[in-house]
Amino acid sequence: MSEGWSRSRAAGAGAVASAVLLIAGGVFGRPDVAVLGAAPLIAAAWTVWRQPSGQLTVRVEAWSGEEPTGAGEDGADAAPPGSGGGEAPVAGAAVRARVLLDAPQGADTALLGVRRAGRDVAELLVRVDGRRSLPLLVRTVRTGPQEVATVEAQAIGPGAASISEPTDPVGRTAMVLPGPSALRDLPLPPRLRGLTGAHTSRRPGEGGDLRDVHQFAPGDRLRRIDWRVTARRAPDLRELYVRREHALAEAVVLLVVDSRDDVGPDPRTWRGAEGPRAQDATSLDLGRHAAASLAQGYLGAGDRVGLDDLGARRRPLPPGGGRRQLDRIRHALAVTRPEGEPPKRLRPPQIPSGALVVVFSTFLDDEASRVAGQWRQAGHRVIAVDVLPELREGHLDDRERLALRLVRLAREDRLAELADLDVEIVQWRDDPAVGLAGLARRGQRRPGAGVPA
């Protein structure tokens, strides 16, 4: 036998049975029985002579087909780590790769075993003619660095008479970028900045809504003259009236992600003994998705967006605009993860003056709520986005239900304290677009509007 190859059980049993029939026919003088055993024995000898001698090799590579790289149905992307920013195309929440098989001469079939995230092995029997490329599609609801799949294979010789030793497991990881969702109206900070933008500010300028009609003064442009108002108020043209507008400005938004918690919908996994299931989106996955969605909405409106992390002491991503800024934010969100015991902050991170602060956290402890309250007391508009997933409690025992109830009570107290400080709260597991649109309308109301005199 060739090194690395062995006789299959079926082929060995068939050869033994053929030899028994051949010997029995010779001993008892039954040529018909001997013929029945001779043919399979000759076939077994033929398969031994055609025994493959090489080794089967397996590789898992990133997708390199002709499909365009970019967002799928929900905008999720995947990029291999260290690929220099290249992103592998995905369809919806699916990561694509390919499996390359190099079989030795004489091996025409291979048995593949594909496993991902501790699930049961999925086996597939494929025909191999020297070399074959197989597409691999993995659906996922998780973001960040993760394993695409682990593949091992076993070559099968002609007639399934011989099989090779299983190959070593080969895996590949990918960086799954959070996919943003389209949002409608978004809340704005109380004070806008800059001399350009898409929002109407309170300053006089150009490009915004009508501010008032005023007498012509030095510095006013002739094209601003409103001839209808002038003809009505000064028919003799002794005075000219011009239309004055509000200036356009941009908003500065700081997204603050609390990466200290990465909990799933099963409270039993919060202790850390076992991780959340691969098919369950964790709080950090929801936080990445929420931050990417808000970043896309604000950047699409021409605003400037920055990113900071409460769970790590690193330089924050400064506010910026444009498509490149969205790509930087999505990649920074993808690599955000819990990094051990986070250091306690003595003061909240410094943010630009007049910025809107959006905090994404589970609020399972006091740190995120404390920092959000300090920002609000400093005069910033603060929005707290609750990213705790919908919990599953049906399998919990009485003791675990009691512990979860205590955690919920403490968490509700923190959210109530934030509401008392005028921190606006949005539940991301509900319909976030409706909640954010309500906050946007609230910010557009004038003080005292709707209150009877």
* pLDDT values of the chain reduced to their tens digit, one per residue, 453 residues: 455 666 656 555 555 666 666 677 666 667 766 666 666 666 666 666 566 677 888 888 877 544 433 333 344 555 544 443 333 333 345 788 888 888 887 777 888 888 887 666 788 888 887 788 888 888 888 888 888 888 888 888 766 667 778 888 888 888 888 988 888 888 988 777 655 555 555 555 555 556 566 677 787 776 777 778 777 777 777 788 776 665 566 788 999 999 988 898 999 888 877 778 878 889 999 999 999 999 999 998 888 899 999 888 778 899 988 899 999 999 999 999 888 776 676 667 778 888 899 999 999 999 899 999 999 998 899 999 999 999 998 888 899 899 999 999 999 999 999 999 999 999 998 888 888 988 988 755 444 333 333
Q: Please, are residues 295 and 277 in contact by the beta-carbon 8 Å criterion?
A: no
Of 260, 268, 352, the closest CA to residue 303 belongs to 352
Of the candidates 6, 118, 128, 116, the one whose C-alpha atom is nearest the C-alpha of residue 58 is 128
> Do 255 and 294 form a contact (C-beta atoms < 8 A)?
yes
C-alpha to C-alpha distance for 38 and 30, rounded to whole angstroms: 12
Provide the 8-state DSSP code for 376: H
As a dihedral over the C-alpha atoms of residue 214, residue 245, residue 449, residue 197, rounded to 10 degrees, the angle is: -160
Question: For the whole model, what pTM was predicted?
Answer: 0.73
- Residue 302's region, left for phi above 0, alpha for psi from -120 to 50, else beta, is left
Quote the CA–CA distance of 42 and 175 in Å, as a whole number: 54
Q: Which residue intervals of 421-453 are DSSP H helices?
A: 432-444
For residue 243, give the 3-state DSSP assignment: strand
CA 62, 67, 69, 75 torsion-angle sign? negative
